[in-house]
Structure 1
């Protein structure tokens, strides 16, 4: 994702997440952390016929040389246009995020998913994410709970534990 993608991404964001749409400033801030030697974010877009039909983002927090903590990534967003849902696009976007987590040398990847978004939960489970808890009232407005999920990355292999070889469905999480 580049700065010129922000306006079309915002249009898709407003359509898919009308109650908790990210602002232009939020996307600018995320992109500012996705470039250069200190980059700790990865944002990608999927285009079809000059139209953005999906996007996804990941933030990584790296371990420091003097810490006992491993690097951890967090899936910030995955969104797929309604007319492209069910085509495997969400799985391809998630695969790109997991590649970025590997490049950031993350030991695990975390995410939050609306408890009522069963399609997204199934996608994440196919990739090996496991539920580990809830965040009550996380999605506002609406006071919808979030299911917290975690994926442990395989050490040394450069891939996620349990990654499917093919992705058949997707969702916005």
Structure 2
């Protein structure tokens, strides 16, 4: 099992099945259409969709990230940070931990999608070397009915 230490006394480790409730809650707090606890439990225990959590020594989860392996590519499916932990480097820590975990995988490139109005995420991904490779107009539904465009980004891992 791998651990990565952070300056905020958090570390990153693979999620456990018992984390599904917290992960689903964090996802629902950060996205208009959150996934259920059952969906996250299936991802956490399934093959090809590793989920990592940033947590303290008591396993209080500050954030999480989920990947999907696609041969030589890996997709960042979702990432969310608890509101009280935002702007403290947790997202950056999670991403760096993912990059390190992927060193032992066949993945050569990471892909992700991000809403075009998610400025904090776009800044983070730009800082990490992701570049825009496309977009999907009207991809993300919004509560007011106006869909947001998804920016597709990629970054080489090697």
TM-score, length basis structure 1: 0.75
Give the CA deviation at 1:50.
4.2
Q: How big is each residue's C-alpha offset from its partner over 1:86-144, in whole Å with a ceiling of 9 and x where there is no partner?
A: 11110110112222332222111000001001111111111110011111121124421
User: Take 1:145 and 1:25, find their aligned partners in 2: how far apart are those partners?
Assistant: 28
Q: Which runs of 5+ in 2 are unaligned?
A: 1-14
TM-score, length basis structure 2: 0.81
User: Take 1:86 and 1:102, find their aligned partners in 2: how far apart are those partners?
Assistant: 27
Q: Which runs of 5+ in 1 are unaligned?
A: 34-38, 63-70, 155-173
C-alpha RMSD of matched pairs (Å): 1.6
Residues 139, 149 of structure 2: 8 Å contact kept? yes
Question: Partner of 1:16 in structure 2?
Answer: 30
Structure 1 residues 73 and 50, CA gap change in structure 2 (3 angstroms): closer
Residues 20, 38 of structure 2: 8 Å contact kept? no
Greater relative CO (CA pairs within 8 A, separation 6+): 1
User: Take 1:127 and 1:42, find their aligned partners in 2: how far apart are those partners?
Assistant: 20
Residues 111, 148 of structure 1: 8 Å contact kept? yes
User: Take 2:39 and 2:21, find their aligned partners in 1: how far apart are those partners?
Assistant: 12
Which of 42, 50, 71 is the equivalent residue of 1:29? 42
